[in-house]
Structure 1
Amino acid sequence: MPQLAEGSLSDALFSADSVRRIDQYVIEQQGVEGFELMQFAARAAFRRLVVRWPNVEPLLVLCGAGNNGGDGYLMAANAVRHGLAVRCIAVAPTGKLSGDARKAWKKAVSDGVEVRELADINEPELASEFEKAELVVDAMLGTGVSGAPREPFTDVIARCNRSGLPVLAVDLPSGLNATSGAAEGEVVQATMTVTFIGRKAGLYTGQGAAVCGDVVFEALNAGTGVRESGESPAAMLRRWPSVHDWLPVRPANAHKGRFGHVLVVAGDRGFGGAGLLAAEAATRSGAGLVSLATRPEHVTAALARCPSVMVHGLTHGSELPALLNAATVVVCGPGLGQGAWGQQMLQQVIESGKPRVLDADALNLLCSRVPKPAGNQIMTPHPGEAARLLNCVVPEVEADRVAAATKLQSLYGGVVLLKGAGTIIASDLKAVDIAGGSNPGMATGGMGDVLSGITGALYAQMVESPARAAVLAAVVHLEAACKASANKGYMGLIPTDVIDALPQVFREAEPASHRSKGEE
């Protein structure tokens, strides 16, 4: 598992169990009382609330039975002390509260918070509470809850989502699995999530990427305890500002031979565009040379679209070895098809032993055969392809994306990049990374082909670091999509828009001294 280096706390992602153990360590070994820690959390969340929604009232605070509910009660108390109108509903009976959660409820009541028991509120009154509110604080279900929510939480969560109100989720949205990012039933659709002590992995992948809104991390001064606890992160969060310095620096006297030769093997009849998207993305991602091996009928269109790509029309796999010999990295799979032509091409790629990126139909063809695990391989499945490779169904993959990617990596070796919101990268370094963020505009055909081209180009430039190349590719792909959609929106976004935005992304990582070399 990844080790927590100095200064990396904000990028570390933990399982729910690990965060609870860290919490306990801080309380037992550092002498911070649990109730005091709860107060820190409530104050931090309330500060975030008033910054995001200044002067909003009334607040509707929904509290559960555990420490998450305790955070909610203390937030309500903070709001009352600041003169805000607050309505607080005990979704779980206050008679069942114990420990610090009970202390928090008592403090809220003593500070003037009116707490109403959900069981005592009839349907019209409950509807009225939501109608009057301007913002909801979700403090119902915390990290200790697993599985689908039960009544009355299911009903209240559904009401939150139907209300159209902004929601601040305390630690995580109720109904979300903090470790896996799965939601087995109703889950709160939050506008903002304020999470504490350690970032939870589930907030950044799967359903978490869709329901958490803006995620804000509050360490609560527990950084030393996190490191001293000995808990290893489940994954590391990777975003463009934190990884762009991984890109190799280009010297002023650089030439194309230093940045690798990417061979894209792709595009059976009817799917020529897939190979061209991958090849063009590779040219825009810094590869020194890019070749495309495709069906002969696609050559003319490919040259017209992207003359910088060396295009070869092949009718049989026996023609491929000569091209493979010249390649640094091979990208195989986009539009490859599952017929005889595609099978021949994949066989030649695997037998060559060249560093490779396998995508799309190359992965579908692997479902009937499991080759010897390869350390010089990056696989880029979407959840459907991952399910076929694992002989399971998509919901099983999505139920625990980190586990699915890790299992695929153990079967096939190398690096596995499991696509989707919160892309997972699992490597033979026993490390897991999550590319933070999502973009609904990427839900269209051809985006995966662009990613495979970016991955191939970065791998060719970092051939000794396939895991880093894969992480960079996922992050760059997302960043380019976000820049493109900022201008064109989500619904109209197409793969070539993302390719066109790639130079803008890479430019942000280039030293200013490399942009012009004129005389003074």
Structure 2
Amino acid sequence: MKKIFFDSRPMDKRAREDFGLTEELMMENAAAAMEDAVTPYVFHESTRYIDRPHVLILCGAGNNGADGYALARRLVCHEFCVTCCVVDEPKSELCKLQKKRAELSGVMFTDLYSLDDFIEEKSFDITVVVDCIFGAGFRQPLPPNAEAVLLSVSKIDCRKISCDIPTGLDAYGNGTIVFKADETVTMGSLKLALYSDRAKDCTGKITLANLGISKTNFEHESKFQPDAYLLEKNEMTLPWRRKQNANKGTFGHAAIASGEKPGAANIAANAAINFGAGLVTLTGVDSSSFMSIMASKELPSNTSALLLGSGFGRSNKDAEKYLSYLKENKKVPFVLDADIFYYSEIKKFLEENSSEEKNSRCILTPHPKEFSVLLENCGLGNFSTAQVVEQRYELAKKFTETFKGCILILKGTTTTIAHWSAKENRTCIYLNPHGTNALAKAGSGDVLAGLCTALLAQGYNAINAAITASLAHSLASKKYDGSFALTPEKLIDEIGALK
């Protein structure tokens, strides 16, 4: 699990004050890291017919631009051409100094107004474009000159690398016109902006570079609190069966409430039985589509976890029955999904059953539109789906600060998992960027809900169930060879093959 920070500037300041690193030395280390990222693609196999390869560096007016000029100076030591596009004349003192050094070193220059002609003349020779216009401190809107440069270089077919954060992304990872990188070399620490839904199409591979001290020293645990955590595969604890003296009841009984669209409940039930639940029953129906899944009009007496909402319908008369059951059976954990968020009773139910962290037994799995409805029904504001996507970090915090017993899995390009931690006295955010666009398919969310229910039935606590289910869901999508043909059934098969 890696730490993610909203703003790394306090860590930069401490590195200078406590470790004696000057800003100029840190900049040289940043340029060296960028040099390591650029050089393998200058004399790449794909450019073997180019006699004189060319690197184009886009430089802004601040210290991100200074990084670009320092990089240019280092690159002219190699046997290829380097040109800096001066997007804005230097304003910071270091940017002025680094540009002067680059000029003295033999770096070539062009400007915004000559860039299109330069690209037309050199397009075949340009093997790498480096974005050093704006860094982590950028605030919207993107200035017209930077916008024009990004549109111009988007025509070039070559390796594209960003310094720190792709230009056009703000601190929350939002932006309209953004430099589309194949790799982003981010400095010192991972930034929250790199893991937004918008960023996933712009960052490419994310490489963390140090600025002259170790990651441990830079992120000093007692001085800097991360704003989020990046989930990795080793956080996934699959429900391997270690105990041999067992029966089906040992591994729990997952109940899946069926309703208006029984296909969704069937998908969730199939996911649950394939993810280790010993017994799975579809409730509210007379029959099941799967031989291994039972059906019952009523909840089984030995229910160990309940999923409510998948395909349930928004006016199902049985909603009160299920909510009352959960109120009366305080030890039964549950997953809420999809249609249940549209019920006006949801606010009162969550206040009575999920308002305290010590009683955490609830996982919610909305997509952005459903979360928008949930926020409104809970009296937390009116937000469009687009606003939920853009503000997912802050809205996830807002929700879990209000309902401290809920584990929120807010689905998206980068899935956000949030829960209140009494120990830390704050909301903890976990980001899962591992899913692919193959999951953009009806039924994928029902699979996730079923996975969560299966783990709760087997005795996982709610946060561990949410993390493992989310990772299994996304990592299985990466295993599938194809982006458009991944069905829920195929996804479940891939989950079963995880190791």
Identify the match of residue 342 of structure 2 among 364, 367, 383: 364
Q: What runs of 5+ residues in structure 1 fail to find an aligned partner?
A: 1-7, 509-520
1:512 is matched with which residue? none
Q: Distance in 2 between matches of 1:252 and 1:48?
A: 51
Q: Tell me if 1:279 matches 2:245.
A: no
2:50 maps to what in 1? none
- The residue type equivalent to 1:216 in the other structure is T
Select which of 306, 330, 341 maps to 2:306: 330
CA distance in 2, matches of 1:254, 1:293: 25
Q: Distance in 1 between matches of 2:496 and 2:469?
A: 13
1:85 aligns with 2:81: yes
| Normalised TM-score (structure 1) | 0.85
The answer for the alignment partner of 1:409 in structure 2 is 400
Task: Please say if 1:291 is aligned against 2:287.
Answer: no
Shift of 1:343: 2.9
Matching residue of 2:129: 136
Deviation at residue 245 of structure 1 after TM alignment:
4.6
Query: Which residue identity is paired with 1:45?
Result: M
Partner in structure 1 of residue 151 of structure 2: 158
1:243 correspondence with 2:221? no
Task: Determine the C-alpha separation between the residues in 1 that align with 2:239 and 2:193.
Answer: 28
> Shift of residue 257 of structure 1?
2.9
Which secondary structure state, in structure 2, belongs to the residue aligned with residue 428 of structure 1?
Answer: strand
Counterparts in 2 of 1:358 and 1:428: CA distance versus 1, 3 Å: same
> Which residue of the partner structure matches residue 441 of structure 1?
438
Question: For the residues of structure 1 that align with 2:170 and 2:231, how far apart are their CA atoms?
Answer: 20
CA contact (8 A) 1:22 1:229 kept: no
Change (3 A) 1:78 1:176: same
CA distance in 2: counterparts of 1:144 and 1:126, whole angstroms: 28
Overall identity of the aligned pairs, in %? 29
Instruction: Identify if the C-alpha distance between structure 1 residues 153 and 229 changes in structure 2 by more than 3 Å, giving closer, same or farther.
Output: farther
Write the letter of the residue equivalent to 1:266.
S
Following the alignment from structure 1 to structure 2, what is the Cα–Cα distance between the partners of residues 122 and 207?
27
C-alpha deviation, 1:367, in angstroms: 7.6
- 1:192 counterpart residue number: 183
Note if contact 2:259-2:316 (Cα within 8 Å) is conserved in structure 1. no
Alignment of 1:54-203 (within 5 A): 54-55=43-44, 57-94=53-90, 96=91, 98-119=92-113, 121=114, 123-125=116-118, 127-128=120-121, 130=123, 132-178=125-171, 180-183=172-175, 185-203=176-194
Counterpart amino acid of 2:437? P
**Number of the residue aligned with 1:515:** none
Match for 1:452 among 433, 449, 453? 449
State the partner residue of 1:418. Answer: 410
Deviation by residue 1:25-59 (Cα, 9 ceiling, x = unmatched):
10122101111111111111221223355445311
- Relative to structure 2, which stretch is displaced further, 442-451 or 259-268? 259-268
Aligned-partner SS, 2:317: helix
- Distance (Å, rounded) in 2 between the aligned partners of 1:154 and 1:367: 47
TM norm structure 2: 0.88
Is 1:46–2:35 an aligned residue pair? yes
SS at match of 2:341: helix
Q: Supply the distance in 2 between the matched residues of 1:62 and 1:342 (Cα, whole angstroms).
A: 61
Supply the distance in 2 between the matched residues of 1:396 and 1:278 (Cα, whole angstroms).
29
1:494 lines up with 2:487 in the alignment: yes
Tell me the distance in 1 between the aligned counterparts of 2:348 and 2:71. Answer: 54
Alignment-mate amino acid for residue 333 of structure 1: G
Maintained 8 Å contact 1:25/1:229:
no
Partner of 1:511: none
How many Å separate the matches in 2 of 1:367 and 1:189?
Answer: 44
1:142-162 Cα distance to aligned partner (Å, 9 max, x none): 111111211101111222334
SS where residue 49 of structure 1 aligns? helix
* 1:170 partner letter: C
Question: Which of 319, 324, 341 does residue 343 from structure 1 map onto?
Answer: 319
> Aligned residue for 2:386?
395
SS in 1 for 2:314: coil
Q: Deviations over 1:442-476 (max 9, x none)?
A: 1111100000001111222344x211211111111
CA deviation string 1:230-260 (max 9, x = no partner)? 11111110022x2135757623444433322
Structure 2 portions without partners, runs of 5+: 48-52, 355-359, 376-381, 422-426
Shift of 1:218: 1.6
The residue identity in structure 2 corresponding to 1:437 is H
SS in 2 for 1:452: helix
Give how far 1:345 is off. 4.9
> Structure 1 pair 20/249, CA: closer, same or farther in 2 (3 Å)?
farther
**Cα distance in 1, alignment partners of residues 42 and 462 from structure 2:** 43
Structure 2 counterpart of 1:20, which letter?
R
Give the alignment partner of residue 4 of structure 2, picking from 13, 17, 24.
Answer: 13
Q: Which whole-Å deviations, capped at 9, do the CAs of 1:152-184 have from their partners, x for residues lacking one?
A: 011112223343433111111101124x2222x
TM-superposed CA distance for 1:140, in Å, is: 0.8
Closer, same or farther: CA 122–169 of 1 in aligned 2, 3 Å: closer
Q: Distance in 1 between matches of 2:103 and 2:157?
A: 28
Q: Letter of the 1:399 partner, please give it.
A: E
Deviations 1:325-381 (A, max 9, x none): 421111111100012335345434543443111001012225874421513111111
Aligned match for 2:333, one of 355, 365, 384: 355
2-structure distance, mates of 1:499, 1:377? 23
Cα distance between partner residues in 2 of 1:130 and 1:140: 20
The letter for the 2-side match of 1:447 is S
Say whether the 8 Å CA contact 1:355–1:376 is kept in structure 2. Answer: yes
Query: CA separation of 1:370/1:308 partners in 2, compared to 1, >3 Å: closer, same or farther?
Result: same
Comparing 163-172 and 244-253, the one that deviates more:
244-253
Counterpart of 2:475 (choices 470, 473, 479) is 479
1:294, distance to aligned residue in structure 2 (A): 3.9
Q: Is contact 2:56-2:126 (8 Å) kept?
A: yes
Asked whether the 8 Å contact 1:331–1:356 carries over to 2, the reply is yes
Indicate whether 1:385 and 2:370 are aligned. Answer: yes
Do the aligned partners of 1:26 and 1:222 also contact (CA within 8 Å) in 2? no
Would the alpha carbon gap of residues 158 and 255 (structure 1) be closer, same or farther in structure 2, given more than 3 Å must change?
farther
Report the Cα distance in structure 2 between the residues aligned to 1:342 and 1:105, rounded to whole angstroms. Answer: 70
Give the deviation of 1:86 after TM superposition.
Answer: 1.5
Taking a change above 3 Å as real, the CA distance of residues 411 and 48 of structure 1, as seen in their structure-2 partners, is same
- Kindly tell me: are residues 172 and 366 of structure 1, through their superposed partners in 2, closer, same or farther at Cα, counting changes over 3 Å? farther
Q: Compare the two structures and name the one with the higher helix fraction.
A: 1
Aligned-pair CA distance for 1:123: 4.7
Superposed CA RMSD in Å reads 2.2
Alignment coverage as a number of residue pairs? 469
Q: Secondary structure at the match of 2:154?
A: helix
- Partner amino acid, structure 2, of 1:146: R
